[in-house]
Amino acid sequence: MEQLATLEDLPKEYVSTLTQSNLVPLWPSLRNVLPPNQPIPQTQATAWHFKDIKPLLLQAGELTPIEKAERRVLVLANPGHGLENMKATSSIYLGMQLLLPNEWAPSHRHTPNAVRLIVEGTGAYTTVEGQKCTMEHGDLILTPSGLWHEHGHDGDEPVIWLDVLDLPLVYYMEASFVEGGDVQEVKGTDRGHRYAKGIVPTVHFVRENSGYPLLRYSWKDAKQVLDALAADAAHQGPAQISYVNPETGEDCQKIIGYSAIRLAPKEVVQLERRSAAQVFHVIEGQMHIDINANTYELSRSDTACAPCFAQIDLINNGDEPAYIFVADEAPLQKKLGLYSTRARI
Ligand code: GTQ
């Protein structure tokens, strides 16, 4: 492709006249906004280790009362995007949230979609539109766009979870805002019992139309399916599950996709190169991850992110199975017609 003229190639006076008229020449920036062949991501391969985050989060618990934080979160920020922009990838926000015994994070609802993946501790719960969802290690709890949610804690140890939101995208669209609300009246539990093994209640009534019939995906159930897949001789490829809407089979949320992979001891999984950036979080076990030229050793509760079209290898060097939670931008890209894959190099 032709090397294009730069801003310096133009007379200064001409450029300043353009500026005064709110005009910009395209050609000096054309190769930045339309780079040849593939995007130039700002997202850098980055890893965050739980052993570093946890003491700082507990310190935040001493420094800042929950009433002064609303949500006590340390954001996992990708340096490639600038830390202050609070992005793990261009569209994915990650945060580690701490709730201490007897604390309460008040009810609110916002336009970004959120999920929580429970990392440590018991006794906490999230109430979503009146449905009380218990938080246990590895559980995935949805708080989709526009639904009221609050967090409470009846237990006696700190509870920590990973928040995943599409906040960077929604903020970029100038569509991000929150409303505060009153304590919710609890009307039921998480409804997981309704969607077991393809057996669902016959509907003699109009379904709730939130579009989110299931709000809590229990880790116990997800792990059972992963173990069964791994034990099934007829199953091809890595054991991987997707978190879907049980009534439609579609991705459980509209923008970010959620799945989990099981790596047997010594198993190596070479992922295809995808246009969607991804996040990896270790639910159980340990993993060595290669992302392009970067290598990270991840232990339980550690998190890493990878840019678009990265070449990624997942390797379990341990003696126990490893279970990895994955978040990616594929649902968003597929809806927009932007999703593609590339052969590995
Ligand atoms: O728990 O509702 O990490 O509203 C960021 C914004 C968590 C939450 C975050 C939020 C929440």
Which atom of ligand 1 lies at the shortest distance from residue 75's CA?
Answer: 3
Distance CA 83, CA 91 (A): 14
Residue 192 dihedral angles phi and psi, to the nearest 5°: -60, -30
Which bin fits 297, alpha (ψ -120 to 50), beta or left (φ > 0)? beta
Give the pLDDT confidence score for residue 193 in this predicted structure: 80
Nearest CA to ligand 1 atom 11: 71
CA of 311 to the centre of ligand 1 (A): 31
Atom of ligand 1 minimally distant from the CA of 126 = 1
Asked if residue 173 and residue 90 are part of one domain, the reply reads yes
Q: Is the CB–ligand 1 distance for residue 168 below 6 Å?
A: no
183 in any annotated domain: yes
Residues 84 and 158 in one domain: yes
Tokens at 261, concatenated: 């992979």
In a domain, 204, yes or no: no
Shortest-distance Cα residue to atom 8 of ligand 1: 71
CA of 183 to the centre of ligand 1 (A): 16
In a domain, 150, yes or no: yes
**What atom in ligand 1 is closest to the CA of residue 95?**
3
- Tell me how many degrees the CA angle 232-238-239 measures, rounded to the nearest 5: 55
Say which amino acid occupies 219: W
CATH number of the domain bearing residue 81:
2.60.120.10
Whether 294 is in a domain gets the answer yes
Contact (Cβ atoms closer than 8 angstroms) between residue 71 and residue 107: no
Assess whether 27 and 92 both reside in one domain: no
Q: Whose CA is nearest to atom 9 of ligand 1?
A: 163
Domain shared by 30 and 51, yes or no = no
Cβ of 111 less than 6 Å from ligand 1: no
Give the DSSP letter of residue 251: B
Centre of ligand 1 to C-alpha 98, Å, is 11
Domain that holds residue 19: 1-37
Residues 30 and 173 in one domain: no
Q: Which pTM was predicted?
A: 0.96
Does the Cβ of 73 fall within 6 Å of ligand 1?
yes
Spacing, Cα 52 to ligand 1 middle (Å): 21
Say yes or no: CB of residue 176 within 6 Å of ligand 1. Answer: no
3 plus 71 within the same structural domain: no
* 21 and 75 inside one domain: no
The reply to whether 60 falls in a domain is yes
Is 207 inside a domain boundary? no
Q: How many domains does the chain have?
A: 2
Whether residue 20 is found in the same domain as residue 86: no
pLDDT of residue 68: 97
User: CB of 166 closer than 6 A to ligand 1?
Assistant: no
Q: Whose CA is nearest to atom 6 of ligand 1?
A: 71
Pocket test for ligand 1, best of 165, 171, 178 (most atoms within 8 A of CB): 165
Say if residue 284 is in the same domain as residue 159.
yes
Q: What's the confidence (pLDDT) of residue 198?
A: 75
113 and 139 co-located in one domain: yes
Structural domain includes residue 203: no
pLDDT tens over the chain, length 345 residues: 899 999 999 999 999 999 999 999 999 999 999 999 999 999 999 999 999 999 999 999 999 999 999 999 999 999 999 999 999 999 999 999 999 999 999 999 999 999 999 999 999 999 999 999 999 999 999 999 999 999 999 999 999 999 999 999 999 999 999 999 999 999 998 888 888 777 777 766 666 667 898 999 999 999 999 999 999 999 888 999 999 998 889 999 999 999 999 999 999 999 999 999 999 999 999 999 999 999 999 999 999 999 999 999 999 999 999 999 999 999 999 999 999 999 999
Cβ of 71 below 6 Å from ligand 1: yes
- Between the CA of 190 and the centroid of ligand 1 the distance, in Å, is 19
Distance 338 CA to ligand 1 centre (A): 28
Distance CA 256, CA 252 (A): 9
Q: Which atom of ligand 1 has the smallest separation from the CA of 116?
A: 1
Residue 273 lies in a domain: yes
CA distance 296 to 110: 34
For residue 254, report the distance from its CA to the centre of ligand 1, in Å.
18
Q: How many residues does the chain have?
A: 345
Same domain membership, residue 50 and residue 28: no
Residues 6+ apart with CB under 8 A from 191: 131, 213, 214, 215, 216
**Do 114 and 72 share a structural domain?**
yes
